[in-house]
Chains A and B, each alone.
Chain A
Amino acid sequence: MIDLSVDVGGLRLSNPVMPASGTFADGLANTIDFNRLGAFVTKTITHEKRTGNPVPRVAEVHSGMLNAIGIPSKGSDYFIRESIPFYRKFSPPLVVSISAPSNDGFARLAAELSQVEGVAAIEANISCPNIEEDGKAFAMHARSTAAVVKALRASTSLPLWVKLTPNTGEIANVARAAQEEGADAIVAANTILGMAIDIDTRRPKLGNVMGGMSGPAIKPIVVRMVYQCHRAVSIPIIGCGGIATAEDAIEYMLAGAKAVQVGTATFIHPTAMIDVIDGLVQYCRRKDLPGLQGLVGAVEDTGFVPFEAMA
């Protein structure tokens, strides 16, 4: 009997596979069995209503997509009233992704959601601009990460997951700062800032000019970041970036992820998350493993012998 269950940042999940925020909605219930997912992760919500960015909001790039959707949100009141009751009908725990423009805004929204039955954990999307830091993303720097996680931790006793950005030169320091201020898990990572230009019109392909790159093309970059974070922190890491198959998920686990989020792949193959779960079972059978725990951080990165100096 293969047991895929895993403890991640204060939650016990039946398996380590869940959607990445922004790539999942109730409409997918027509296509896959929601009860098979390890958890639900919602599209990021904000306290206030937001319309999002101008179109075009996405562009196709080699083995990936560039998006600037811009966190459209119907507001937390609507979400609590309309969306949470829908997710309560299913067994996986509900992780609510939140965003706010300031430390205080994050804290208030987390506190609001902590009062609502059916919210199992908070995923703080600190990859968004911070008005107190001149628009830089909170997770670009350890100092701003520490400040927002501290405010969040003080505002909620729910499990707190912190979603980092790959748009930083100090991912390990940022992860460490999140852990030190009380995060229960980190999610690595969000999309990588990119840009694409139409050479006929000379215009950017996105209405917002720049956007976030996701999909298979970014996987090696984020696997590297998960590996760096794993060496820096002891809290669980949830890997996210270009995962489309069980093999991708296992690669992330070997780098140090305890669970994974599947995002863009669901747009192309709506059954991608279920296929990953089935593929993990098959991998365990093939390798004669009882479960996945032994894989986390098990990359064998020692023993390479450097070349001798030229004779």
Chain B
Amino acid sequence: MVISNAWVNRDYKHLVLDAGLPAAGAKAGQFFHLLCPATEQDSPFFRRPMSTYRADPATGRVEFLYKVTGAGTRGLATLEAGDKLPMLGPLGVGFTLPAGARHIVVLGRGVGLATLAPLAEMAAQARVGVTAILSARDAANLMSQDRFTAIGATIVEVTDEAGTSSVENVERLLRELHAAGRADAFYTCGSSRLTLLMQRLGAELSVPGEVAMEQQMACGIGMCYCCVRAFREGDRLVSKRVCWDGPVFPLAEVA
């Protein structure tokens, strides 16, 4: 049942649902498979996977933050308070915190920030400090600052508009954080360039990490083998299903 579905800026909407338990028990990094409504313009056939922006067992609420881009999200954007949205989940493997971590770095770009916000809260509950590097095209597309601020995270904003979002600049930031002892683990979502950067630095600096991957899905529960990607296991390349084996994977496995 939809509680609200409001624009947060020009491109993104924030959908709040009363989903009840066990849906609201979704862990950071898990996703739901949403049966997006048809509109006059669109008839989405598949469900759409969407990572959880917030899930609160106390209230039974599940929230999503999404960019309106295609047939599925255009349908989602039409939902109003009181509407029903069939959804399957929570699905997939979520984020984990390495034992003994005291401070982590989360690096998100665009809608990837939505996936990382629950991870930052999970870290805060475990008394782990968080530095959040938020990347976007421009300041208007930076989101979730309030979520990161609320848990006491240190926020660093980088944008294309300000010329601060380049891989080189983000690498400098990550190296500084590591040198300051504030990077016991790396987490990222939303950009393959930034994922490869974190993977390379993680390997060089011996910092473990995880990435939430995106891939087109049909079934969402491991049956159709549509969402496979190649992953590295030792010196072998193996195919894994993003919906079933992920969507969160160790950074070291990204091929």
Contacts and interface: CB of A to CB of B under 8 A. Distances in A.
B222 interface: yes
Contacts of A268: 35, 45-47
B46 A22 contact: no
Contacts of B68: none
Contact of B223 (A28, A52, A58, A64): A28
Contacts of A63: 43, 45
B223 A267 contact: yes
Interface residues of A, number: 29
Interface stretch (B93-101, B149-157, B194-202, B213-221): B213-221
Given A57-B228, A65-B45, 7 more contacts: A27-B223, A58-B226, A63-B43, A67-B224, A72-B228, A267-B224, A268-B35
B225 A69 contact: yes
A22 B226 CA distance: 11
Interface of A: 22-25, 27-28, 30-31, 43, 51-52, 55-58, 60-65, 67, 69, 72, 215, 266-268, 270
B223 A23 contact: yes
Given A60-B46, A61-B45, A72 B239 contact: yes
A55 B229 CA distance: 8
A67 B45 CA distance: 13
A31 B221 contact: yes
B44 A60 contact: yes
Contacts of A43: 223, 225
Nearest to A71: B225
B221 A28 contact: yes
B88 interface: yes
A259 to B, nearest CB: 20
Contacts of B225: 43, 52, 57, 69, 72
A23 to B, nearest CB: 6
B226 A25 contact: no
B215 A55 contact: yes
Contact of A27 (B45, B215, B222, B229): B222
A200 to B, nearest CB: 12
Given A57-B226, A69-B226, A215-B45, A30 B239 contact: no
